[in-house]
Amino acid sequence: MFSVTVRDHIMVAHSFTGEVFGPAQRLHGATFVVDAGFAGESLDADGIVVDIGLAAEQLRAVLADLTYRNLDDEPAFAGRNTTTEVLAREIADRLVARIEAGALGEGARDLGRVTVTLHESHIAWASYERAL
């Protein structure tokens, strides 16, 4: 199994609903350093699992719709907590939708798995991994 991972980041405001979140129920914010990994069983004729330039570009496009925003105001997340886990899944799903639409090239449709990790600080991170 091969995988290629690219890193980017978003800077967002949000608040959480639920006593479990303690002070994070208040409006606060986070830098999420985002690692998007693309895994497949084989390499193409060029010797790559995915075009890393396209991968970085598509990740940037997905993140552009999220960064420098108050996620509490985003219709896409209405009625949901934008926890690190939820954001990891959302970013993974949006990347998969782009892959399926051909944005990473024809070969990328054969990828087996996408993994998105969001680092919320130097001491905490969350991941979501899904098949294509």
Smallest distance, Å, CB 100 to a copy of itself? Answer: 20
Nearer to a copy of itself (CB atom), residue 98 or residue 113: 113
Smallest distance, Å, CB 85 to a copy of itself? Answer: 5
User: 52 — phi, psi (to 5°)?
Assistant: -65, -30
Nearer to a copy of itself (CB atom), residue 23 or residue 101: 23
Smallest distance, Å, CB 97 to a copy of itself? Answer: 19
Smallest distance, Å, CB 98 to a copy of itself? Answer: 17
Q: Where along the sequence are the contacts to a copy of itself (CB under 8 A)?
A: 1-9, 11-14, 16-18, 20-24, 26-33, 43, 46-49, 51-53, 56, 67-70, 80-86, 88-89, 120-130
Dihedral-angle region of residue 102 (phi above 0 means left; psi in -120 to 50 means alpha; beta otherwise): left
Nearer to a copy of itself (CB atom), residue 69 or residue 98: 69
How many residues does this entry show for the chain? 132
Nearer to a copy of itself (CB atom), residue 7 or residue 97: 7
